[in-house]
Amino acid sequence: MNRFLNKGMVATLQRRMASQLLINDSKYAFLKELGIKENNAGVFHGKWAANGQTVQSFAPANNSPIANVQNGNVKDYEIAITEARKAYNDWCEVPAPRRGEIVRQIGDKLRTQLQNLGKLVSLEMGKISAEGVGEVQEYVDICDYATGLSRSLEGKIFPSERPGHALLEQWNPLGVVGVISAFNFPCAVYGWNNALALVTGNSVVWKPAPSTPLTAIAVTKLVEEVLVANNVNPALCSLVCGEGDVGQALVKDKRVNLVSFTGSSEIGKIVGQQVQARFGKLLLELGGNNAIIVNEDADLNMVVPATVFAAVGTAGQRCTTTRRLIIHDKVYDQVVERLKKAYAQFESRIGCPLDSNTIIGPLHNQQAVGKYKASIAEAIASGGKIEYGGKVLEREGNYVLPTIVTGLKHDDPVVLRETFAPILYVLKFSNLEEAIAINNEVDQGLSSSLFTTNIQNVFKWMGPKGSDCGIVNVNIPTSGAEIGGAFGGEKETGGGRESGSDSWRQYMRRSTCTINYSKELPLAQGIKFE
Ligand code: NAD
């Protein structure tokens, strides 16, 4: 371009392009408070320096560019992994409670920017601001949780069969945890991994989704401040924004001891095989195709709002979104009618995710809108009836109507697939065994819910012949998990568990230690070797 324009013209063009960035609109002043600029380096390894392509991050509400980001390339990744390994060498010897204290400070730092960071998540991902703030709150909560955990990362002591011997377990850090995250939880997924990886003594290299780099940069800046204030090498929490090539470098790298991957089952399958090929450790959090079962004895006053929240919330872009509603034939017509009314009430509240009145924001990008349209066309071609919605809204941004589809077979290919959009397939059953079989017949196994008032059904649902998912709920929606429990799913959801319970063990390696404090050398199983 410069060959045809003189210096003055180039400067004018650059000014015009900069003025189109949302960061220069006073409405989004919170971006600057988070340290976001017009041009941002998307790589941090103790220093902010990137060498990859410059890209723009867009707001799904209007598809306008927010700010520029210079991505990292494979060379930047190489620096980040080297620096993160160096940082690990010191960090692994810091006593766990001291590590916990620093993670506590990260939580406190996030608290000071809770609203601003929540707004950035909302602007860049497209979820409503209450959910954006909620996502940052999850990171704060897991910091508190990890702080407590740092004083209770316990190993067991077992009775030894040999006299004068002690048999015990010691847990040690792994080294570097590589986190590859999805666009739909640009803050919380990293938070879950980051807080647990740090208290367990690891360093972290993060590759966020290519369409949410600004959230990753803002989060890393806050974490950096805390590490520097505590004289900890800030490369401990390194960041490389970029595309699949950076992800591939991380996945294939033996120096990355655990790959924690959150994303689609399609990419997760490739990543899983590649990490396994080098005998690396894996934590996979992949797609879901979650169902709510409404039994004949369910409290329908709870079913309707729970279904709307889980099917329509985050515009259907949660891994735990309810995509299938399996209703007993005795209450089927009543539930469908009530749902249609509830959906209609929300239509006027589809809009800009940063407006406080909005309940339903946009889809993340135009590709997602394309997938929404394609799935609806496929559902209609298979004999499905659109009870509500089914349309893209004629306005700027990526807005669609939440959609209810009836009349499809429970095993129709479109029903078995995860379409990352607010489309709810409504199915019918006549006994609970049949409903459970429908719940379990999909390839994914993330979240599931049964609405019933019968205690016998509850324990059947939780037991060996019940739901085969990682999350098995009763009388609550499929989405909206708390951090205290282990989060994740079975089958093509990948089998990983993050967040609460004993998920911390995945970030550590177990040593079984037998210590002989006697002067004899007895062998186990009474073997005599003489
Ligand atoms: P995606 O699979 O397209 O991308 C996820 C990440 O993988 C991104 O950072 C991407 O850049 C990276 N990537 C792409 N190709 C790669 C490769 N060859 N090697 C290494 N990395 C690569 O997923 P998405 O569209 O960002 O997210 C939506 C999906 O994530 C949905 O399927 C959703 O269900 C799932 N998800 C699951 C959970 C969970 O906890 N189970 C949570 C959030 C999202």
Q: Where are the domains of the chain?
A: 42-286+494-511, 290-483
Q: What is the mean pLDDT of residues 257-282?
A: 98
Predicted pLDDT at 19:
73
pLDDT digits (tens, 9 = 90+) for 481-518: 999 999 999 999 999 999 999 999 999 999 999 999 99
Res 16 pLDDT > 90: no
Res 284 pLDDT > 60: yes
Q: For the sheet with 64-70, list strands across it.
A: 39-41, 64-70, 54-59
Q: Which amino acid is at 218?
A: A
CA 270–ligand 1 middle distance (angstroms): 11
pLDDT digits (tens, 9 = 90+) for 216-242: 999 999 999 999 999 999 999 999 999
pLDDT digits (tens, 9 = 90+) for 120-164: 999 999 999 999 999 999 999 999 999 999 999 999 999 999 999
138 is catalytic: no
User: Of residues 135, 285, 387, 498, which has the active-site annotation?
Assistant: 285
pLDDT digits (tens, 9 = 90+) for 392-418: 999 999 999 999 999 999 999 999 999
pLDDT digits (tens, 9 = 90+) for 175-212: 999 999 999 999 999 999 999 999 999 999 999 999 99
Contact 322, 291 (CB under 8 A): yes
pLDDT digits (tens, 9 = 90+) for 291-311: 999 999 999 999 999 999 999
The neighbour count for residue 373, using CB atoms within 10 Å, is 15
Distances 354 to 125, 219, 363, 434 between C-alpha atoms, Å: 11, 19, 14, 42
Candidate from 4-13, 188-197, 238-247, 270-279 with smallest mean pLDDT: 4-13
Residues with CB under 6 A from ligand 1: 180-185, 207, 209-210, 243-244, 247-248, 251, 262-264, 267, 270-271, 285-288, 319, 418, 420, 446, 493
Q: Who's near 71: CB < 8 A, 6+ residues apart?
A: 42, 43, 50, 52, 53, 54, 55, 210, 213, 241, 242, 243, 246
Distance, CA of 81 to CA of 357 (rounded, Å) = 44
CA 265–ligand 1 middle distance (angstroms): 8
Contact 113, 34 (CB under 8 A): yes
Q: Which ligand 1 atom is at minimum distance from the Cα of 285? A: 41
Q: Whose CA is nearest to atom 21 of ligand 1?
A: 247
Q: What is the mean pLDDT of residues 346-364?
A: 97
Res 466 pLDDT > 80: yes
pTM for the complete prediction? 0.96
Q: What is the mean pLDDT of residues 435-454?
A: 98
Q: Who's near 395: CB < 8 A, 6+ residues apart?
A: none
Predicted pLDDT at 9:
60
Res 248 pLDDT > 60: yes
Q: Whose CA is nearest to atom 16 of ligand 1?
A: 244
User: Considering the chain, what is the average pLDDT of its residues?
Assistant: 96
CA 2–ligand 1 middle distance (angstroms): 38
The first and second tokens of residue 320, run together, are 């735990």
Predicted pLDDT at 85:
98
Please, what CATH class does the domain formed by 42-286+494-511 belong to? alpha beta
CATH number of the 290-483 domain = 3.40.309.10
Res 11 pLDDT > 70: no
Q: Whose CA is nearest to atom 13 of ligand 1?
A: 244
Provide the pLDDT confidence category of residue 1 given band limits of 50, 70 and 90: very low
Provide the pLDDT confidence category of residue 12 given band limits of 50, 70 and 90: low
CA 182–ligand 1 middle distance (angstroms): 4
Distance, CA of 365 to CA of 362 (rounded, Å) = 8
Strand partners for 392: 400
Res 18 pLDDT > 80: no
pLDDT digits (tens, 9 = 90+) for 25-69: 999 999 999 999 999 999 999 999 999 999 999 999 999 999 999
